Amino acid sequence: MERIIKNGVVYCPLNGINGEKMDISIKDGKIVESVSDDAEVFDASGQIVMPGAVEVHAHIAGAKVNVGRMMRPEDSKKDAEGTVEATHRRAGSGFSVPSTHMTGYRYAQMGYTTAMEAAMPPLLARHTHEELQAIPILDHAAFPLFGNNWFVMDYLGEGDIDSCAAYISWLLRATKGYAIKIVNPCGTEAWGWGGNVHGIHDTAPHFKVTPAEMIKGMAEVNEKLRLPHSIHLHCNDLGHPGNYETTIESFEVPKGIKVNPATGSRDTVVHGTHVQYHSYAGTSWRDFESAADIVADYVNKNDHITIDIGQVTLDETTTMTADGPMEYDLHSLNGLKWANCDVEMETGSGVVPFIYSAKAPVPAVQWAIGMELSLLVKDPAKICLTTDSPNAGPFTRYPRIFAWLMSNQYREDMLENKLHKWAQKRSSIATIDREFSFYEIAQATRGTPAKVLGLSDFKGHLGAGADADVAVYNMNPDTIDPSSDYMAIEQGFQKASMVFKDGELTVKDGEVVNAGLKGKTFWADTQVEQNSYNAVLKEVERQFVKYYSIGFKNYPVEDEYIAKSAPIKGVML
Amino acid sequence: MELVNNVVCPFCGTLCDDIICKVENDEIVGTYNACIIGHSKFVHTEGAMRYKKPLLRKNGEFVEISYEEAIDKAAQILVDAKRPLMYGWSCTECSAQEVGMELAEEVRAVVDNTASVCHGPSLLAVHDTGYPVCTLGEVKNRADVVVYWGCNPFHAHPRHLSRHSYARGFFRERGRADRTIIVVDPRKSDTSKLADIHLQLDYNNDYELVDAMRAALKGHEILYEEVAGIPRDDIVGAVEALKKAQFGILFFGMGITHSLGKHRNIDTAIMMVQELNQFAKWTLIPMRGHYNVNGFNQVCTWESGYPFCVDFATGTPRYNPGETGSNDLLQNKEADAMMVIASDPGAHFPQNALHTMAEIPVIAIEPHRTPTTEMANLIIPPAIVGMEAEGTAYRMDGVPLRMKKVVESDLLSDKEILEKILEKAQELKASK
Amino acid sequence: MSEIILTPKEQPQVPLEAPNIKPDVFAGKTIDEIKEVEINYGNDTVKLSDFFDVEGTPGETAGEIKIIIDGDVSNTKRIGQQMTAGEILVKGNVSMYVGLEMEGGKITVQGDATVWAGQNMRGGELEIMGDAGDYVGSSYRGDWRGMNGGLITIHGDVGYEIAEYMGGGKIVVKGNADHMPGVHMSNGVLIIEGNVTSRTGGEMSGGTIVVKGVIGQFLAGFKYWGVEKNIQVDGEDIPGVFYKFTGDNAIKGANGTVYVAVAGNKHVAPE
């Protein structure tokens, strides 16, 4: 099947295309150089054409996401949608944590075609995959949590990188996981006893390993296994005033490790996630202020790192993370309901509703910090725009964030009329007049995430050979002035005029027309030397049967859980 | 004889996954490791009476019909109804439940599972307070104080104690000896006999007791000298024991979810566990009954946003147990047709609900003769999940495991039956 | 003033849902247009005139419209949902959610209501001359923000958990209340002139409850302050002699107040 999207204004940063009028040709689900005259024609005159967007970090599937839905019927009630029989669109509900079908539709409506579930407890991997399968349209992957895994903590406490690599290789395959996710290393294990760690040189009770050693060891394992993505790091001390020092120290740890992916074009060794929550100065909530300028400066000066933002959207939302102690602290602070799930041998999690009120001082500064980070990091090849959905706000607010970044006038309106005055007093946001271009938006939502995830061979761009994931927005860059027409920008990005997924027209005039599409599951299929692998596994099994509550053979996720398997092969040197 | 290892037991929410089935001539003839109830389930797949063919009631008598006829009939009943109820789900696997959700949406039904009559109150409490839990391995590895409130695992979850509370774990090398077990139950039970402390409270006074404990936890004097039949000093003593834990776990069951006040008992118990975290690590786990009752709550939540009692009447999911629960619909005489799958409301629902069931068309997707099938107009027999069909189930603590297909069956699985009904319902609706 | 009279025809077994029966929807419509207003019948959508005769004088704005339901609608849910102005008079019983999320105007039910009357009420007045069920003036599942304005008066008895998560406004019950009135209440006033079965004010963090009748078991999480005479609540003088309690101290920092008439309640005072 051939298709051609004609006369659109194309933004494709990975190929350096900045607003050129050109045609995009599609054949058999891939972008091609040209198609025959028989191709079905889609007119995109006067419209923006971008690659399908790539979500680098969100919580969309799995145990804690579902607990977020389950414990908040009041959130589900305020945003529910009915069945659309004509297009077989399924019903659903949830403002901050939409149900699975709604998640797929809403991402697709904004032009997103790939999304990462950023935290998968390995023991509960089947759950994550069952939900990912129930999310239509989106290609996806899930990041297993390693930062508090007992085996990893033991290996790295002893400096045994090779055994650790063998174990992680096995676990990625067993859980059909994609990348090494590290959340509050050692801290969530300490939460097993109700504690936490502070800074990167602390240790959890019983274990003789520090967060710094965990970060460094896993970064080495990551490159040894030649994984597509870098380590994905949620630093220690999330949300604590004064935590920027921990953040920069953590980023510094893996510096110098040689980048070594088997596929893709990643050139960094660490991805710092939701850095807004990690860029705080001060010593308490009273003298709390932004340290975004310091963190942005670090990112500007270093090339081994990418970050995503975790932009606060000023909504009532649901926070959820594997950072168990952080969620307990949040519950103690706001007094709202609290879910927690400690997962044996591996990790934990917490869920708490949160109201980011624009009129309250702290959320106003948090908003400003996210904006500062996006605007002060000079090169959008180093940042991905996220809300850490649903933590700082639901992903459905991305269009509003794009509009904030593209319009200084919009930000000024926020500062003057909507936000608590701390936003101006405790940050530098009022002094920044930079405005993102469409090209830069495409970088931070397509090119950069695809590249850092190691998917840029076929995601995040519109060159020949790429997956035919294309988003078309009914905004004419020749006539629209994002600086003043910011509401039109927000509306334009909220509902794409056309979205193609693997070449199939999936969204038309902002509505999903192909609701039944199933996405691919990416996972990391790495190789390690067989003898040492077998020896490591034998020892893992010995420990496993003693301390897990399920059988070793019942741990690996069966093939039945992956409808469209897309292993990314790595080779161990 | 062949041995099939690592089989997951399709009985209770403990979901033991170390069962070995002895198979001869494609029949399970024995087990290793299973408890007496699980063992019986494995070796008596035929039950008192196993249906092998769909049955339709004609003039009061059941007559055999083909699967195709049964599926047409089921779809017709559901499509014709103005307020269909689809109930059960807790003894089948998750992909069947997913198809069931789509079917409920298609025919604009109310869909509900057996949580409605077991841990439904816990879910309502979770809405108000949250859900601080852990997986069962955490109990084995860390717990030094274990509370069983209103439950009797010795009989209801027979291997729960040995697998989790008596087991040796990483930080509890001596197993039972390293733990204090507290039972809160108005009855003397076989579980309470094993306890270090038995708080024998008055019936229907769980809320009063927790209220007093929570006040004491915050340093307030308990207003009365005795609460729920327990002296003030004993209550204070119990609270101190909870505070001194390193890792505490509260297991709770029907004795508290269904005593007076229902969800409010769980609400206040959850909040007490949350508050105990100021002093020690504390979590809880509900003692779920049916092996996959939790799985349906998971599926229903990710599909619709709500865990059970979902009303698709307007096409948009709505939720309010008390209105949209199966007993509400039946007792208020709202339901005008009912599909029952993987459960037996005929044996467990109150009389008022059964009266309505007797008056409306009832479809039973059920392998065995049960009180429900006795009331049914149409019986469609499935292969039994966990023995004859595979799929996911969620343990009481949320750990998902894959139920095994140990032996073959000629019967359609729950999922296949539902898929066919869905397809037929879509066809009927399109031609309307 | 416009009066629109809805006379129930034969009512179905499967319930109707009629959030559209309210002055806000009828405003600016002719009688013929009102007949066409949609209501839900199970999983079908039907016209108001399928189940009601409609007559009377139409009105331009909600504030000038009085809807009279001339008969029993005990199988119709959601009457007056989110209404902001005008009046509804029901000359019979109603089903669930009468006055749900009501913001203004007045609803009077001459018969009984069932559960969730005045759930999440924001303003206006809801008066039930007969009994009501559980959860009068409660919140929606999971929401810690319940009724925060308006007045609900129940002349008969009520069920469990009335004023659940109440955060403002006033509820007066002339009859008896079953378990847990004012559970999780944080503000507002709840006056019960009859008896309460048990657990008055369980987990309340604020607000005031006055019980003039006899209460069953009381909660040990409260603090006892002694006897007060002729109390004043929300600007209203309430004569009589009351035991005063504050709590529920099961909740951290709670400052709710419960007054219980001394007469018949000696068993709740701790000494």
Task: Single out the residue of A310, A246, A321 nearest to residue A281, CA to CA.
Answer: A246
Same-domain check for residues B91 and B62: yes
Report the share of chain A in percent with pLDDT over 70.
99
Q: What distance in Å separates residue A315's CA from the closest CA in chain C?
A: 16
C144 touching A, CB under 8 A?
yes
Domain count across chain B:
3
For residue A204, pLDDT over 60 is answered with yes
- Residue B50 resides in a domain: no
Inspect the interface and report whether the beta carbons of C161 and B264 lie closer than 8 Å: yes
Residue A571 pLDDT:
54
The label of the residue with tokens 């969100």 reads: A58
Beta strands in A107-235 (DSSP E): 112-120, 139-144, 181-183, 231-234
- Residue A338 resides in a domain: yes
Above 0.90 for ipTM, yes or no? yes
CATH label of the domain that carries residue A232: 3.20.20
Q: What distance in Å separates residue C45's CA from the closest CA in chain A?
A: 14
Q: How far is Cα B79 from Cα B87, in angstroms, rounded to an integer?
A: 16
Q: Which chain B residues have a beta carbon less than 8 Å from that of C43? A: 81-84, 107-109, 312-314
Residues C104-124: what's their mean pLDDT?
98
Q: What distance in Å separates residue A156's CA from the closest CA in chain B?
A: 19
C142 touching A, CB under 8 A?
yes
Same-domain check for residues B198 and B263: yes
C223 touching B, CB under 8 A?
yes
CB B325 within 8 A of CB B141: no
- Residue A155 resides in a domain: yes
Q: Is C247 exposed, middle or buried (0-12, 13-18, 19+ CB in 10 A)?
A: buried
Q: Which chain B residues have a beta carbon less than 8 Å from that of C183? A: 264
Task: Single out the residue of C48, C92, C84, C45 nearest to residue C65, CA to CA.
Answer: C84
3-state helix, strand, coil split of chain C in percent (to 5) is 5, 40, 55
Inspect the interface and report whether the beta carbons of B261 and C270 lie closer than 8 Å: no
C51 touching B, CB under 8 A?
no
Residue B48 pLDDT:
78
Same-domain check for residues B93 and B150: no
Same-domain check for residues B259 and B195: yes
Residue B408 pLDDT:
96
A80 touching C, CB under 8 A?
no
Token pair, residue B8, equals 């997951």
The label of the residue with tokens 């007054």 reads: C259
**Which chains contact B through at least 3 pairs of Cβ atoms less than 8 Å apart?**
A, C
Q: Is A527 exposed, middle or buried (0-12, 13-18, 19+ CB in 10 A)?
A: middle
CA of A350: which chain B residue's CA is closest? B132
Domain that holds residue B19: 2-43
A85: confidence class by pLDDT, cuts 50, 70, 90? confident
- Residue B49 resides in a domain: no
Residue C1 pLDDT:
85
| Angle CA A158–A164–A168, to nearest 5 | 155
Q: What distance in Å separates residue C98's CA from the closest CA in chain B?
A: 14
Inspect the interface and report whether the beta carbons of A336 and C141 lie closer than 8 Å: no
Q: Which chain A residues have a beta carbon less than 8 Å from that of C140? A: 73-74, 77
pLDDT in tens, B204-242: 999 999 999 999 999 999 999 999 999 999 999 999 999
Residue A573 pLDDT:
41
pTM of the predicted structure, to 2 decimals: 0.98
- Residue A22 resides in a domain: no
Inspect the interface and report whether the beta carbons of C220 and B224 lie closer than 8 Å: yes
- Residue A41 resides in a domain: no
Inspect the interface and report whether the beta carbons of B224 and C14 lie closer than 8 Å: no
C224 touching A, CB under 8 A?
no
Q: How far is Cα C93 from Cα B215, in angstroms, rounded to an integer?
A: 42
Token pair, residue A337, equals 């309901």
- Residue B298 resides in a domain: yes
Inspect the interface and report whether the beta carbons of A123 and B169 lie closer than 8 Å: no
Same-domain check for residues B278 and B325: no
C14 touching B, CB under 8 A?
yes
Q: Which chain A residues have a beta carbon less than 8 Å from that of C144? A: 336-337
Q: What distance in Å separates residue B261's CA from the closest CA in chain A?
A: 20
Inspect the interface and report whether the beta carbons of C203 and B268 lie closer than 8 Å: yes
Nearest by CB: C41 against B82, B124, B212: B82
CB A279 within 8 A of CB A245: no
Q: How far is Cα A246 from Cα A239, in angstroms, rounded to an integer?
A: 11
Report the share of chain C in percent with pLDDT over 70.
100
pLDDT in tens, A348-397: 999 999 999 999 999 999 999 999 999 999 999 999 999 999 999 999 99
pLDDT in tens, A388-441: 999 999 999 999 999 999 999 999 999 999 999 999 999 999 999 999 999 999
Nearest by CB: A549 against B140, B247, B298: B140
pLDDT in tens, chain B (432 residues): 999 999 999 999 999 999 999 999 999 999 999 999 999 999 988 877 999 999 999 999 999 999 999 999 999 999 999 999 999 999 999 999 999 999 999 999 999 999 999 999 999 999 999 999 999 999 999 999 999 999 999 999 999 999 999 999 999 999 999 999 999 999 999 999 999 999 999 999 999 999 999 999 999 999 999 999 999 999 999 999 999 999 999 999 999 999 999 999 999 999 999 999 999 999 999 999 999 999 999 999 999 999 999 999 999 999 999 999 999 999 999 999 999 999 999 999 999 999 999 999 999 999 999 999 999 999 999 999 999 999 999 999 999 999 999 999 999 999 999 999 999 999 999 998
3-class state of residue C42 by DSSP? coil
Q: Which chain A residues have a beta carbon less than 8 Å from that of B307? A: 70
Residue B46 pLDDT:
80
Same-domain check for residues B110 and B131: no
For residue A140, pLDDT over 90 is answered with yes
CATH label of the domain that carries residue B355: 3.40.50.740
A216 touching C, CB under 8 A?
no
Domain that holds residue A451: 50-512
Same-domain check for residues B259 and B126: yes
Token pair, residue C23, equals 């002055």
For residue C64, pLDDT over 50 is answered with yes
Residue B173 CB neighbour total at 10 angstroms:
9
CA of B169: which chain A residue's CA is closest? A547
Q: How far is Cα A488 from Cα A477, in angstroms, rounded to an integer?
A: 12
C41 touching A, CB under 8 A?
no
Q: What distance in Å separates residue C103's CA from the closest CA in chain A?
A: 17
CA of C225: which chain B residue's CA is closest? B223
Q: How far is Cα B284 from Cα B269, in angstroms, rounded to an integer?
A: 9
Nearest by CB: B281 against A70, A72, A194: A194
Token pair, residue C106, equals 């007045």
- Residue B209 resides in a domain: yes
A570: confidence class by pLDDT, cuts 50, 70, 90? low
Task: Single out the residue of C118, C115, C94 nearest to residue C188, CA to CA.
Answer: C118
For residue A467, pLDDT over 60 is answered with yes
Inspect the interface and report whether the beta carbons of A71 and C140 lie closer than 8 Å: no
Residues C243-270: what's their mean pLDDT?
97
CA atoms within 13 A on the CB side of B317: 36
- Residue B401 resides in a domain: yes
Residues 6 or more apart in contact with residue B358 via CB below 8 angstroms: B375
CATH label of the domain that carries residue B155: 3.40.228.10
A491: confidence class by pLDDT, cuts 50, 70, 90? very high
Q: Which chain C residues have a beta carbon less than 8 Å from that of B220? A: 221, 223, 249
- Residue B390 resides in a domain: yes
Single residue among B269, B286, B303 that ends a domain in this structure: B286
Q: Which chain C residues have a beta carbon less than 8 Å from that of A77? A: 140
Same-domain check for residues B305 and B264: no
Domain count across chain A:
1
Report the share of chain B in percent with pLDDT over 90.
98
Residues 6 or more apart in contact with residue C7 via CB below 8 angstroms: C52, C53, C55, C69, C70, C71
